[in-house]
Structure 1
Amino acid sequence: MNEKELIKNEEKIDYNIDRKEVYVEPSQPVMDLLCNDIEEKIYIRSGECILTIGLEGKSKERGITASQMELSLETLEKICTILKCKSTLILAEKLEDGNEIQHFLIRKNMINSIYIEVRIAILGNVDAGKTSFLGVLTLDQLDDGRGLTRGRLHQHLHEKTSGRTSSVSNYILGFNEDCDYVKPIKGKVDWKNVRINSSKIITFIDLAGHEKYFKTTVFGMTSNKPHHSVLVIGANAGIIGMTKEHLSLILALDLPLIIVVTKIDMCPQNILAETMSLIQKILKSPGCRKITVSIKSIKDVVVCIKEITNKRIPSNTARTATSNPWNAIHTAKTIGLVSVASGDIILEKRSVLTD
């Protein structure tokens, strides 16, 4: 093959890796681009990423045929072999026209003592059910309604007798390379077994909810450097006591927020509706400005995993951007101090300011 034919063949190659059929028998140059793209995503996400096959980037075209999906999975298997990763199917969508979309978790194979760690702080008012919630998660055991799981996690005698956490405690939840939950032995706190058999460990930071332990709670939040936060709210009691203070602490540290509503089985429907309405009102208030997403299915979980670290502005609230020349120092009237959320501001280069 001469040089002209090589150039013609190269011009025929579509290098757009956002195409939904890009994993269907790709050429070697496209295969290299896909490997580099997935490797970069894994690096950014500290060892794992979510990959969707069958979506056309930002367009509305969705789904590929079953035969195309089969060829795409073969390509994905080759990529995982090259990058020394493991893929796990987390959601398969079947569309009305028969086409398919599949979502995969791509995780780097952990070597020796290296593992992925995610730290999550658990906050909420006293008696909201924080430690019981953690006990069910980490001990693989349901609570009996009388503090069974909570009692197995409390470390001090006065905590077991009063049922209230007074110190900063850590508990772990492990997942192996196949994304299966690593169960503790005989329902006990077994860190050694979980650590040995896990490639990803979730560390929960259990914090005190009582007002007199608030300094301890602040210390636990700032010293453990959590990646995410969970605010536990009792459905029967609602937003009372230290709930707003804990929410303010989460907002001050700019942590992604998950709200867990407990005790819905012992709460009348009208009280539960009032609690949910008040939560929505507070989260959408000017001081909070959070976009609420209710998790109702695995599909919602996949969407939130992809977007939880992105600070997106809803289309109905986005304001028109204005373009102005910037000097070394810029003052924006009615906005105050201007900070850069991402990217760089370069002198004499056009930048866009949004609020």
Structure 2
Amino acid sequence: MSPDRAVLERAIERGEEEGGSVEFKERLTESLHARDGRFESLAAQLRHRVLSGDGEATYVVGVTDDGGIAGIDPDDFSESMDVLSLLAEEAGAHIEEVETWGVDGVGADGNGETSGIVGVATVREGSVMEDDEHIVVGTAGHVDHGKSTLVGSLVTGEADDGEGGTRSFLDVQPHEVERGLSADLSYGVYGFDEDGPVRMDNPHRKDDRARVVEEGDRLVSFVDTVGHEPWLRTTIRGLVGQKLDYGLLTVAADDGPTKTTREHLGILLATDLPTIVAITKVDLVDEDRVREVEREVERLLREVDKTPLRVDRHGVDAAIEEINETVVPVLTTSAVTTTGLDELDELFEHLPKTAGADRRDEDFCMYVDRTYNVTGVGAVASGTVRSGTVEAGDDLLLGPMQDGSFREVEVRSIEMHYHRVDEAEAGRIVGIALKGVAEVDIERGMVLLPRDADPDPVREFEAEVMVLNHPTRIGNGYEPVVHLETVSEAAAFYPEGGQLLPGDTGRARVRFKFRPYHIEDGQKFVFREGSSKGVGTVTDVTPE
């Protein structure tokens, strides 16, 4: 018996008891809504199980009343989870996790292949935090400009020892925050409740991060986007895995803006990301040097047509009100003396979520970020809804495939943080179970669109590009990797005029090397090859 299977066996062994937290169900159907009092009765039963388990209940689905493993059809199981989610919502709870297993010899077809499944759902008290109360901040800055130290002090509330002590909290492999928030991108998280900041005592401990998620009414996740050499790759993962709401660029007072600072600022602003500049390490220099660096940062921002807003002069409220793609708040900080940390706390507590907020009325679109297969559910495509809304039962198109075609699929179910939902809108991070396609046929970079979208696959497009860094020049046939939405693909560049030099902005024709993708006018992208880096905007697409 595998360890996973042991979860099921333990739940069955515990069994249904009067006053216990385990409940057996063979199947739950949507017809319960139409039966007088039945839905309310089951919701009350679920509430009783949750209270009996001190806030947690276990539902075993696909078993008989006495715990016998029956197994049910995958579609029936999916329907059961939808109903269980509605029951949980009615009872002030949510589905935290679902594990499923195939049932040998139950519901098998003539070939003896397993088609019946049984599952264990963990139901917890309380509703799932709305994504509107979770903002994601992408950090950037030159190496040794205090980015990780600043974030370490924010998430722990501890002053640095002057040797980067709080930075050590973040010198770990990327981790997952509980409930799927900031999965494998967030390297720091803290929150706020009615009494103020909720911080981590020991960020190395997963249960401490979980405590912050549980206690906070609002969460702030920091994503390490552009620190060391893999900065571009992690930037794109951050933009894709969870759309960033804000950028935080650090500039050390003892060093000032560098070439790397300019590159990182270009990346953040090229994606129209509202950005905050934190001048760090002000404890190491005198007041005159701080003012000098502030002026350098302001000049740098004006060079790229941005308006700096000094927080010490105009206040935090003005920064919250004015921050956008063109207005950039600037403040001074020190992780050692904690100068500026209260102002950052106030900013992050009140800044609104921006990702997807203005695209909810458009047609549905979601680029596939990850794919996986769930027993009893089938192929699942996850990502952030780019625009519009999607509902369970919707007919969609998936593609383009290698040959440029799109495949018709159906939305079997939608999950957000293990919580079954009927629909999801722009800005939401979701997993969509798809009917009509195998997981092996879904690839990162594909897109989900409405069935009537009539999309054209794009192999080649025109773009306005800016070269941030390159050792010589970019000529015809130059082949970097283009990162656009979830697409990461080698592409050949053909600049107008035959070449582009470092710092140049100009037009170029871009052609994907291996396959077409769904590309739209106005989309931002980043390209890199070795030490060469640049950004661009799609200006015209040419259908395959």
Task: Using structure 1 for the length normalisation, give the TM-score.
Answer: 0.49
Mark the structure with the bigger radius of gyration.
2
Normalized per residue, which structure has more strand?
A: 2
Normalized per residue, which structure has more helix?
A: 1
Q: Which has the higher contact order (CA 8 A, sep 6+)?
A: 1
